[in-house]
């Protein structure tokens, strides 16, 4: 069985769009391993769901395994993430061409930061993507904007 591949690009938000038609969910996530490790292991509460995720090294394309877990498992693992956490509201919607976007507006120590991600079926599709005007700088390759790095940062990158 081959590993599922996550192919995504990440951008700063130049101007927050109207969020009509977007679905909002509060997200709390914490990292059991840091971004400096060869893999990332995180636990996440997204709305009423709980997940554990393992991601390989990489930026635009990397292996990702996500499994739903019970709330009790999440609560048991959450203390292991102390000092490596973030909070955000995720708005999921679609671009005019149908591409799904996830707009994250961060809270807590990252308040004010807004990032948007787009997932793709292939690296070629990602490379050929033209971002809409409301997207800002492409930070896909900037490791400071990886969620695991943001979770331990004292504040949002400048």
Which of the residues are catalytic?
31
Is residue 71 a contact partner of residue 85, using CB atoms and an 8 Å limit? Answer: no
Residues 26-54 as b or e (16 or more Cβ within 10 Å = b)? ebbbbbbbebeeeebbbbbbeeeebbbbb
Residues near 115 by beta carbon (within 8 Å), at least 6 away in sequence: 10, 11, 12, 13, 103, 104, 106, 139, 145
- Whole-number Å distance between alpha carbons of 113 and 142: 15
Is residue 104 a contact partner of residue 115, using CB atoms and an 8 Å limit? Answer: yes
Is residue 26 a contact partner of residue 104, using CB atoms and an 8 Å limit? Answer: no
- Whole-number Å distance between alpha carbons of 87 and 95: 24
């Amino acid at each position: 069985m081959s590993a599922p591949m996550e192919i995504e690009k990440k951008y700063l938000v130049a101007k927050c769009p109207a969020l009509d038609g977007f679905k909002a969910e509060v997200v709390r996530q914490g990292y059991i391993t840091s971004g400096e490790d060869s893999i990332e292991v995180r636990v996440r509460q997204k709305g009423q769901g709980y997940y554990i995720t393992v991601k390989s090294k990489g930026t635009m394309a990397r292996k990702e395994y996500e499994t739903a877990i019970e709330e009790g498992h999440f609560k048991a693992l959450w203390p292991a993430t102390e000092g490596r956490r973030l909070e955000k509201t995720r708005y999921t919607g679609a671009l005019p061409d149908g591409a799904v976007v996830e707009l994250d507006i961060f809270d807590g120590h990252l308040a004010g930061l807004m990032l948007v991600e787009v997932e793709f079926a292939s690296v070629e599709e990602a490379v050929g993507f033209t971002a809409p005007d409301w997207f800002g700088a492409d930070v896909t390759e900037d490791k400071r904007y990886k969620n695991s790095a943001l979770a331990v940062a004292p504040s949002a990158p400048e």
